[in-house]
Structure formats: structure tokens, C-alpha cells
Amino acid sequence: MAPSVWESARALRAAYAAGTLLPSQVIAAALDRIALRDPKLHAFLHLDSERARQEAVEWDGLYAQARRNAAGDTLPPLAGIPVAVKDNLCTRGVPTTCGSRILDGWLPPYDATVIARLRRAGAVIIGKTNLDEFAMGSSTENSAFGPTRNPWDLSRVPGGSSGGSAAAVAAGYVPLALGSDTGGSIRQPAGFCGVVGLKPTYGRVSRYGLVAFASSLDQIGPFARDVADCALLLNVIAGADPRDSTSADVPVPDFLGATDQPRHGIRLGVPSEAFGSGVDAGVAEAVRAALDTFDNLGFRVEEIALPTLDAALPTYYLIAPAEASSNLARYDGVRHGMRDGSDDLFEMVTRTRQRGFGAEVKRRIMLGTYALSAGYYEAFYIKAQKVRTLVARDFDRAFAQVDIVVMPTSPTLPFAIGERVDDPLQMYFSDIFTIPVNLAGLPGLSLPCGFSAGLPVGMQLVGRAFDETTLLQAGGAYQQATSWHLRHAPEA
């Protein structure tokens, strides 16, 4: 049996166990496909090819041994499955650049917790994916190493900042990938690339080993081509971690099992504010059609209000840059990363940061430093934190009425590369529906729900804190009734 690049992780796992496919065949096919297509797409910054091939051969033997022993399928849940990871997750001895010149060539001395959990689950990590520098962007154009392109249309962006991970899944390189989400950086590229992306509740997944952007907002989550695979990967990475003080010690349910047990009568709330001016007509039409599908499936759909939805965007662009200003102060050319040498310390730090940071990172550092400066701290940063509380309270009121809030993932279709690089306000608008979810610390799931002008449209489901299960149940029910997630990007 020849490996298909479009098989789910679950199907690959079953084929390995049955002996109809070998992990080494699948890994070889993935690497061959990347070598053929990625020069145009540029989803990867680094491939760990040799190690991936070696691990795959080892899994060949372990699967064969399990079949000989007739002991059933007792191997770990991702044994031999190829996975891609965003290049802001620390991988021991493997370059981790965050898409920035200032960390070009840096080799972390440890694995992030999610990387360690992937390895324990048997995943074969193919390589590190491209991103907006330090995860600051909505298009993956801010990478110091060049943009990633959208597999559906190479002239368009894949979204960001986790554009490389989303593109790698959409292009058929890997069935699973990890990204990070500070203001929409998993969900928005998932929507633009026609795949599934989940931002878990803040604290559900350890951030240890994630290079920090905005520590009160950052969260790691999965990409997949369907909801069940997304749940499978969440099963592996979720759970408390003593090395992350923000990691929540709450039970981790069987997310994958929940997708096979869809619930009826789930109440869906649709904010009227999410379909106002600025939302592309094709996006609104696809999401409303998806709501009709939910209604036909027995879900209860009703209108709700999120009055602070518009206020979330400026709130985020005070809080996130302020935290970035603090977090990125460590990149000074002294301890690790790039150094632009000089006998004068001040000049060395200045030159290192001038050369090492890109324009968007510098812009956000300056915004954040200004918001935290004397005379402006209370007027900007403290006020933003108060509005953040109002955003969270709006969601609390909504969840007193409904179980899930439904919005477009992004107000527009994927835009052309270069279209918004000189207009940061238009770029920031891409995340208007995802940012409130990070401010409130809630889980958000993006699903493909249609196409407009030949480009994917994403629908976002937002749930109560630590209730990813309900999102996955609803998403699974929707995908059982539709086929948008089964459509594949064209071969370039």
C-alpha cells in the first residue's frame, strides 16, 4: 500500500498496526513531498530529516514486534506519525529561531514540555515551521527568512503567526502540527488554509519552552485536517506541568473519545457584532450557511451580544506589546543569540537589536515601552487591563445563555502577499474576532466551513474555560454532516 499524503493520523496509526504501511514509508513520502513543494511554499525553516528517518525505522521494528507478539496495539498514540512544530518551541539541539535574525542558529539545550510529550507519544518531528518573527504578525510575512505562501493560492498569505504550521498541514506534508496563539495565531491561519486549529484554554497546555511573546496571552495548540485528529493531538499535549506556574492542575478528559459522542441540544450564540461592517460578504455567507447546518442537526442557534468586541483590538495592542517589551528585553547580545560586537556595551546592545529585530518587532517593542512608561502606564496599560476584564465579563454573560459562541474566524479571505505590509492597522484587523478569546483566556476552535472566490473560509467556535470537549463535540458533529474539511489544496 502506497502512503497517501492526505491520510489522517488515526488512519496512519491503524495502517501501521495492521502492517499495511510502515512508518518509514510515510516519513520518506513526507520528506520527498516537502523537498518537491516547499521551495515554493516555504512552510519549513529547518528539517530534521536524518533523525526523522532513523526514528521511523525504529518504529517499523516496534510495530512488527507488536504484531508478532499478538499483544494488540499497545504502542504510544502517535507512534511513527509525522508532526511539524512551530519554530518558537524549544527543541534540544535543533535550531529554534522564532523567525528572527537575532536567534539565527540558536540551539536550545532542552525540549519544551510539549515537545517532550510529543516524543513520549511516539511522534516523529519532521522539522520546524516558519512564523512571523517572535509570533508577531497575521500573515507570516514578518519572518526574517521570507514569507510562507498559502497552499490554496501561492500569491496569498497563509495567515499568521503560525502560517508555516497551517500550510504544512494544508499542503499534505504532515497530518498534525503545533502552533502558538497569542491573539489568533492558530485559528486565523487555520481559517485561511482550510484546516482545523484549536487554541486551548489558557493554562490547559504547558508553555514551558515556548519562547515568550505576551505571557498572559500565549497558548500552544494543535493543527489537523479534521476535528478528531485535533483532539488526538490535544490529548497528548494537555495537562499540568510543574515547570509552568500558569499551567492549570485540572483533569484532562478524553478529547478524542468525546468526538465520537456528539451531544444534541448544544446552544450556539451568534453575536450580532460579528457580522457588521468590514466582514467580507463571502465570509458572512459561509458562516451563516454553517449555522443553518447546525440548526438542521438539532443545535439551538440564537443571537447574543458581545458589546466590547470592538474594544478588544485596541486593548490587545496595549497589553501584548507591553508584555513583549518586557519579554524581549533579554535579547541584548550578551547571553545568547546574535551579537553585533563593540567595546562599548550600550553600542553593542543597540547595534545587536537594530540588526537582529525586524520592523514589526521593533514597532511593538516601542508601543509596549511607551504604554509602560511613566505618565502613561495608568492612562494606557492599566485602562487596557480594566477593559480586558469587561471583555471577559461579556463572555461570562454570553455563557449564561449559550454553550458556544460562533463567529467568523477572520473577517476577510486570505489577502495577497504584500497587500497589507505597509498598513499595520489593516493587518491587525485580521484578528478582530480571535483576540477577544485570548483576552478572556477561553478555548477557540477554527473549522473550515466553506469557500468564497476559491479560498477557504473559517468558522470559530468559542467555549467556556476548560470546556474544549463541547467545542470538539460540536465541531465533530459539523464535520460528520459536511465535507469542507475533505477538500485538498491544489498541487502546485
336-380 residue pLDDT tens: 778 887 778 888 888 888 898 999 999 999 999 999 988 889 999
- In 3D space, the residue among 476, 429, 448, 394 whose CA is nearest the CA of residue 191 turns out to be 448
Q: What is the pTM (predicted TM-score) of this model?
A: 0.96
DSSP β-ladder status, 196-199 and 219-224: antiparallel
- Sheet with 300-304: strands ordered across: 44-47, 124-129, 82-86, 176-181, 219-224, 196-199, 444-452, 455-463, 404-408, 267-271, 300-304
Task: Quickly list H helices, 376-434.
Answer: 383-399, 424-429
The answer, yes or no, to whether residue 104 has pLDDT greater than 80, is: yes
Q: How far apart are CA 470 and CA 404, in angstroms?
A: 8
Q: pLDDT, tens digit, for every residue of 178-234?
A: 999 999 999 999 999 999 999 999 999 999 999 999 999 999 999 999 999 999 999
Angle at 346 between CA 341 and CA 349, to 5 degrees: 55
Cβ distance 169 to 225 under 8 Å?
Answer: yes
Find the helix or strand (DSSP H, E) in which 282 lies: helix 281-296
- In 3D space, the residue among 159, 30, 142 whose CA is nearest the CA of residue 97 turns out to be 142
Find the helix or strand (DSSP H, E) in which 54 lies: helix 49-68
Mean pLDDT value of segment 432-444: 98
- Catalytic positions: 86, 161, 185
Q: How far apart are CA 313 and CA 185, in angstroms?
A: 14
Give me the pLDDT at residue 264, please: 74
Is domain 9-307+393-486 classified as CATH 1.10.3720.10?
no
